[in-house]
Structure 1
Amino acid sequence: MRSGFTSYLGREAIQTRKGTAAVMDFEKDLVLGRHFLIGTVEIPPYIIIKRDHNGTLLQVDGFVHQIVQFLANKFQFTYEYVEPPNGITGSCVNKTCNGLIGMLIRGEIDMIATGLAMTLSRFHMIDYTFPFESDPITLLIPYPKKDSTLKSILKPFSTEVWILLVLSMVIYAYLMSWAGYLRARWFNRSYHGTTDNLESSREIARQPGKFADDIMFLLSVLVNPGNHIPPGFGEAFRILVAVWCLIAVVISNSYNTSIKSFLTLPKYRPVIKSLNDLTENSKYSFAAKKHSSVWSNMIEAQTGPFAKIGELLRKHPENSLDILDDDKDYVIYQKKVLAQFQSSNLFRIQEDMKSSGKCRLYTAEKPFDELKISFGLPKNSHIENHFLSHELMWLKQSGILQYWKNSYWPRANRCSAPISTKPASNTERLTLNYLSGAFLLLCAGMLVSLASFAAELIRNYCRTKRSSTSK
C-alpha cells in the first residue's frame, strides 16, 4: 500500500515537472528572436546613461542594464532603449498616465527597465514583475557642519552648572573680601606667619571690597588647584579657601576630562534630520522629481507627514522638479533637500566627491520610506510576467544579482560614511545631577566658615573683655 502510494506521488511529480518545463518552453518561445522596445530613464545606479555634448545617447550601463543584457544573451532576443520625451518615469492621476507608464499603456514600448518603484497608483495601470531589489528613500542634504571649537569650550558643563559656578565664585569672593576686612578691623591680636606677609595681608584686608583680587584668586585656584593660599586671615577665611580648593580639584578635573572628548570628537549638526524639520518656515525646502514615485506618494497622501509634504509641494510648484540635471546646485546653492533612492543619493555623493575633492553632499541617515524595484509590463501580461519573474528569482537566488549590485552600488567613502551628529557617551555634558555634591559642599563650607567667624568674634570679645577687666 505504501509502495503504491509512493509510486503514485512519483508519477505525479514527474508529470508536474514535465508540465512546468512545457510551460517554460512555451514562455521562452515568446521571447526567442524577438526585438523589444524597452523604456528607460536614467536613475543611477540602476540605469547610467552617457551622452555626447549634444545630449545624444551614447551608452547605457548600470545594474538593471546588466539584467537586460543577461536575458538578451540567454534567450537570444534583441532590444532597443527608448526614453520618454519628458524624461520621467511617470505617474497616474484619474487613470491618466504620463512618462514611461503612459508609453507602456499605449503600447509604444514593450516593458520598462529602470529603477521602477512599485506604487499603488501605478499598480492599477500596469503589471509588476518579481521585485528584485528594495531601496530606502532618503534625503540628499548639504554635508553637516562641524560645531565651532569656541562652543566646545563651554560644552563640558550644562548651562545650570556654569551659572552655579559663576554665582559660587561671586559669593565666595564677597565672603573672602569681607571676612578679611572685618577681621582686620575688629581683631587686634597677632596672627601666625611672617611679619611681612602678616602686615601686607592686613593692609589688603583693611581695604573693603577687594572683590576683583579675590575673583582672580578663586579663578587661579580653579585653573591651578595647587595655588598659594595667603595666610593670616584666621580660621573662617582658611575654611573658605580650603573648601574652594577641594571643589576646584573636582571641577577642574571634570572639565579637563570632558573638554578633551569634545575637542577630539566634535559634534556635527545635520541640516535636516527628518521630514518633520521641513516646514513652511524652514531654511531648506523639500524637492523631488516631478511624477517620480516619491513625488507621487507625497501628492497622493491624505494623512501624516507625507500629506504635509504634499501640501508644501502644491504650495510651491517650483520644488516639483522637471529634471535633475545638477543635484548639487539644488542642494548646496538653492537650499533644497532632494528625496531619492538611497542608492542614487550615495551615487551623487560619490560623483561630487570625485569632481570636487570635497565633502559637500550627505544623505540623511534615517530613511523615511522604502520602495520595491521591479520591471514594468503591460496590464494582464500574465505569461510574460511569469517567465520574467521566474528568471529574476533565479538570478537573485543564484547570487548573480548581488554580484552586479556590488559592482554598481557606490562604495563607502569619507563623504558618505556615517558621522556622529550627537555626542558619544563619553562626551556627555556634565549636568547638575553629576556635580550637585560639589555645590552642596560649597554651601556647607560657607556655613562652617560663617560659624567659625562667629566663634572667632565671640572668642575675641571674651579676650577683649578679660583684658579690659585685668587692667
Structure 2
Amino acid sequence: MEFDHLMLLRLACFLVFSIEVQTQPLNVTSILVPPYLMEKKDGTYEGYIVDLVDRLAQKVGFDYQISLVKDNKFGDFIDGSFTGMVGELVRGEADMAAAPLTVTDARSSVVDFTYPFQTVGPVIILRRPDDQRLPVKDRLIKLLIALEFSVWLMTVLAFFVTGTVLYLITYFNPYEWRKMYKDGEATVREAESFTCLNSFWFVISTCVWQGFTRTPRSIGGRIAVTGWWIFVIIFLTTYTASLTNLLRVGPKPYEVEGYSKIQNFKDLASQDDVTIGIIKGGATQDFFERSTGSVEKAVWNKIQINKAESLIDTPISNGIDRLRRKRISDFALILESSMAKYFTRHQPCDLYIVSEQMVTAGYSLAFPQGSPLFRNVSVAVLSMMRDGILKQLEEKWFTGTCKNYIYESVREDRFIFPEFYQVDLGTFSGALFILAVGLVFGGIVTLTEICIFRWAESHGEEGKSEIAKGGAKESVVDSKRQNAGDDTGANQKLLGPEVRVIPPQHVGATTV
C-alpha cells in the first residue's frame, strides 16, 4: 500500500514536470539569411523559416522563440567540436535549429534531421555585364548574318555573271544600240549605254532599285534583264524579311561579351581569369572538398590556391556584395540554388545563375538526438509537402521582379529550336534558278537573232547583185541602140536630103 502511494507520487511529479516542459517555449536557433530569416525594424523576425515554424507549431502543438546563433555559423567540425547551430544543439543550448541547414554525414552523426523541406544543389552566380549588347565586331557584321555565307557568295557571283552576259549580248547582238550607231540610227551616247563598265553599272543600279537610263533593245537582252530583275526582287524581299526577324530577336546570353566565359562548372575549373568564391564553413564547401568527381576536384583545387579571396565568411550577403562590386565578370560565387534564386530574382537584377540542375543536398530542421518532438515535426514536414504548403511558402518568399535570371548552358545532347533561321542556299536556290533560266534563254535568243540577221543580210546582198546585173544589160542595149542611130544618120547624110516617111494612117490624106 505504501509502495502504491510512492508510485503515484512519482507519476504525479513526472506529469507536472512534463507539463512544465511543454509549456516552456522551444529555443529555436537560426541565422540571418534572406529570405529564410530577416530582422524587422521592431526587432521581430520574418521570412520563410518563421512561416514554416509557425505552421509546424500549429500542427504539432508547441510554442517557440527564435534566437540567433552566437558565432553566426551553420555548423562545421573544427578542433574536435562543432561550431554554429549544430554546436548549440549538441551542447544543449538550443532545442531546434531552423535554418537553411544542409544535411551532411558529419552533422547527422550528432543531431537528428527531419525530412528536407527544400532540395538544393550548388550553382554559379555571376554578375551581368554592364553593357548587355553584342561586341562591336558582332554588331558590325550583324547586317550580313541574315543570309548564310553561301547565299552572299552566290549573289556576288550572280552579279558578275549577269554583268558579263549582258555586255556580251549588247556587244554582239545586231539589234542593239552599238549596231544602230554604226548604221547612223543612234547617237554616240546611246551607243555607249552598254559598254563593259556601263553594263555592270546597269546591274548595280537595278539591284538597289535606282532605275536606269536605257534598256537593251534586242529581245535576248530584254529576256536576260528580266531574269535579273526577278532575281533582285526575290533577293531584296528575302533579305529584308530575314533581317527584320533577326533584329526582332535580341541577343542570346552566350552572344554577349561576358556571359559566354562561364557556362558550367567545367568552364569554371578550366580557366584562370575568374576567381572562385565560396561560403566558408558551409555545406557547399564540404561538398567540393569531399567530392571525388574530376570537375569538382578541379574547382576545389583552384579554391585552395587562392584561399584568402575564395573563402568568404558568413553571412552570405558578404559574398553577394563582393560580387556586385565587380565591374566585370572576374569573380564567380558558388552558392546553393535556393539562396541563389532569391538574390538573382530581386533588385537590382544585376546577377544571374549558371544552372546545371544538380541536386546534391536538402535543407532540414535539426533536433538534439533523442528529442521527443523530432518524429512529430518530421511527419508534419512530410504532410506540408504533400499538401503543397511548402511550395506555397517558396513561391511567397523566393519570387521576385527580375526576369531571365537563369542561364541555361547549351548541352550537346539537347535539342533546341532556334528563334532565328539564316536564309540558306537551299531556300534561295529558286531565285538563282530563275536568273540562270533568264540568262541562258536570253543568250539562246541572242544567237537566234544573230543568225536571222546574217541570213537576212546575205539574202539582201544577193538581191542587190541581181538588180545590178539587170541594169548592166539594159545599158548595153541602150548603147547598141545609140550606136545604131548614129550609123543611120550618117547614111542619110550620104544619100541626100531627108525623106520623111509618112505613117500608114496618113495615106490618102490631101497634101498641098
Q: TM-score range by the shorter chain?
A: 0.7 to 0.9
> AA paired with 1:64?
I
Count of residue pairs brought into register by the alignment: 424
1:300 correspondence with 2:290: yes
Q: SS at the partner of 1:405?
A: helix
Q: SS at the partner of 1:131?
A: coil
Cα offset, 1:374, TM superposition: 1.0
Cα offset, 1:92, TM superposition: 5.4
Per-residue deviation, residues 174-222 of structure 1 (Å, max 9, x unmatched): 443454345589996449xxx77x86442132x433476245324314x
- Pairing partner for 2:103 from 105, 110, 118: 118
- Pairing partner for 2:421 from 392, 404, 428: 428
Q: Computing the radius of gyration over CA atoms, which structure comes out larger, 1 or 2?
A: 2
Per-residue deviation, residues 282-306 of structure 1 (Å, max 9, x unmatched): 7655433233333332332222543
Q: SS at the partner of 1:171?
A: helix
In structure 1, what is the equivalent of residue 399 of structure 2?
A: 410
Q: Residues 175 and 62 of structure 1: is their aligned pair in 2 closer, same or farther, counting only changes over 3 Å?
A: same
- What is the TM-score when the length of structure 1 is the normalising length? 0.72
Per-residue deviation, residues 140-183 of structure 1 (Å, max 9, x unmatched): 33347244876553332223322332332233334434543455
Cα offset, 1:46, TM superposition: 1.7
Per-residue deviation, residues 235-273 of structure 1 (Å, max 9, x unmatched): 443333222222223222222222222223323324144
- Pairing partner for 2:224 from 230, 240, 251: 240
Tell me if the contact between 1:132 and 1:373 (Cα under 8 Å) persists in the aligned partners: yes
Give the unaligned 5+ runs of structure 1: 1-24, 53-57, 354-358
In structure 2, what is the equivalent of residue 373 of structure 1?
A: 363
> AA paired with 2:33?
I
1:338 correspondence with 2:326: no
Tell me if the contact between 2:29 and 2:98 (Cα under 8 Å) persists in the aligned partners: yes
Per-residue deviation, residues 116-160 of structure 1 (Å, max 9, x unmatched): 233455445543211122346543333472448765533322233
Per-residue deviation, residues 439-469 of structure 1 (Å, max 9, x unmatched): 3444444444444454455555555555666
Q: Residues 124 and 232 of structure 1: is their aligned pair in 2 closer, same or farther, counting only changes over 3 Å?
A: same
Cα offset, 1:375, TM superposition: 1.0
Q: CA RMSD in A?
A: 4.3
In structure 2, what is the equivalent of residue 363 of structure 1?
A: 353
CA distance in 1, matches of 2:79, 2:158: 71
In structure 1, what is the equivalent of residue 68 of structure 2?
A: 82
In structure 2, what is the equivalent of residue 213 of structure 1?
A: 201
CA distance in 2, matches of 1:464, 1:91: 108
In structure 2, what is the equivalent of residue 269 of structure 1?
A: 253
Give the unaligned 5+ runs of structure 2: 1-14, 411-415, 466-512
Of the structure 1 ranges 241-250 and 315-324, higher mean CA displacement relative to structure 2 is found in 315-324
Per-residue deviation, residues 306-329 of structure 1 (Å, max 9, x unmatched): 344333333443233234326254
Tell me if the contact between 2:27 and 2:67 (Cα under 8 Å) persists in the aligned partners: yes
Per-residue deviation, residues 84-109 of structure 1 (Å, max 9, x unmatched): 53x44245599875544455445554
CA distance in 2, matches of 1:429, 1:34: 71
Q: Residues 33 and 382 of structure 1: is their aligned pair in 2 closer, same or farther, counting only changes over 3 Å?
A: closer
CA distance in 1, matches of 2:176, 2:426: 41
In structure 1, what is the equivalent of residue 10 of structure 2?
A: none
CA distance in 1, matches of 2:438, 2:273: 50
Tell me if the contact between 2:36 and 2:47 (Cα under 8 Å) persists in the aligned partners: yes
1:171 correspondence with 2:167: no
In structure 2, what is the equivalent of residue 385 of structure 1?
A: 374
Sequence identity of aligned pairs in percent? 16
Tell me if the contact between 2:170 and 2:178 (Cα under 8 Å) persists in the aligned partners: no
In structure 2, what is the equivalent of residue 157 of structure 1?
A: 147
Q: Residues 171 and 123 of structure 1: is their aligned pair in 2 closer, same or farther, counting only changes over 3 Å?
A: farther
